[in-house]
Amino acid sequence: MSLFFYQVTIQLYYIIAYVTSFFNPKAKQWINGRKDVLQNLAKAITPNEKIYWFHCASLGEFEQGKPIIDYIKTNNTNNKILITFFSPSGYELRKDYENADYVFYLPIDTPKNAQQFINIVKPTKAFFIKYEFWCNYLFELNKNNISTYLISGVFRKEQLFFKWYGVLHRTMLSYFKHFFVQNSDSEKMLNKLGYDNITVTGDTRIDRVYENSLQPQSVPLIKSFKKNKNVIIVGSSWEKEEEIITEFIHSSKKDYKYIIAPHDVSDKHIQQIETLIENDYIKYSEANSANIHQYKTLIIDSVGLLSNIYQYTDIAFIGGGFSGNLHNILEPASFGNTILFGPKHHKFHEAEELIQSTAAYQIKDADDLLAVINHLELENQLEKSQQEAFTYIKQGVGATKMISKKLKL
């Protein structure tokens, strides 16, 4: 990709987002969030502050940057933290994050915006999380001799860096002072391009989910619902996972309880789930200690509960595996859940590794789900799988410590 083509593509993206914003709420948030963002940034930031800039595409990348941010704020209280987001789903949920001094949308990546942004912020260090590569920002950071790091990076052969026409993307890599990558495969890919300024740290999210699993918040209603039964949860589900689990519930006589915690908790979507289940269910908003244990299926119709629900579940069927956008499987694994997900998981090395360790299984349809459940019901198979999930998390702890030590944060 040439620089000219890149600049044209960025402008076209903005135009398309602007047109789409007239009828798409998320696109409207994306456009409105960038109005006067540079002026607002200039008003907010005090000159001569020592600012560490973290850029995240969305919420998932924020979760990978969060352990480093928290470490900095705990150990270096004089440093200021600026977080920028590309996506509304990240910004809207974390704009009030307590360990950030400033949270903004990232202005679209044009040469002028990048130059103004760097001149306003003057970051001491810049951290890009996982997949974020913006040519003009990286160029300005490099031009101003600002140390720039990639955190929790993942590299695969199908990415543009490794194509004959990916000259611009390979140039972007040269602007990073150090790469902190999640696995040895990523290191090998970078080695092929001549880079050795690499540290294999694993995934920083593991530090966070492990820490959270040690002191989860109690959810008494979920505990009452579980009683003495094994619980299968469908977490961050989309329609495909919901269709599979309801078909399984209707066709199977298994003695489980079920929790459906959808990605979309709008009234319309909750009603769709109710129609699928038909009977013997209750919504969390309507449950109480007197009635919740009477039902086979519980629908979570609010946000903010999921990470603490996993402590009460045994098998977690995680959404996004049918679209290629698999949601967080590390959270349920940290509580020793056996993990299930759809077939489009190859971009997620943790999914591949959990499958190899028998802590996770791929599911294509309700028949697959039944086959896996039957397998797990064999003597001690569920317990072995759950232990493998917990072991995977425990052995993966330490990325934050490695990064902070290398950077002397």
Please state the domain extents for the chain.
3-200, 216-396
Cα distances from 284 to residues 205, 278, 293, 299, 355, in angstroms, run 28, 16, 12, 6, 32
Predicted local confidence at residue 3, as pLDDT: 87
Contacts of 370 (CB under 8 A, 6+ apart): 248, 251, 252
Identical fold at 3-200 and 216-396? yes
- Identify whether the C-beta of residue 261 lies closer than 8 Å to the C-beta of residue 300: yes
Topology (CATH level 3) of domain 3-200:
Rossmann fold (3.40.50)
Predicted local confidence at residue 140, as pLDDT: 97
Predicted local confidence at residue 7, as pLDDT: 92
Tokens of 151: 């955190």
Predicted local confidence at residue 131, as pLDDT: 85
The structure's pTM equals 0.87
Predicted local confidence at residue 313, as pLDDT: 98
Predicted local confidence at residue 1, as pLDDT: 63
**Could you tell me the mean pLDDT of each successive run of 10 residues in the chain, 409 residues long?**
87 93 92 94 93 94 94 88 94 93 96 97 96 94 98 94 93 97 96 97 94 94 94 97 96 94 95 94 95 95 93 98 95 98 94 96 96 94 97 96 91
The dotted CATH code for 216-396 is 3.40.50.2000
Predicted local confidence at residue 98, as pLDDT: 94
Predicted local confidence at residue 397, as pLDDT: 96
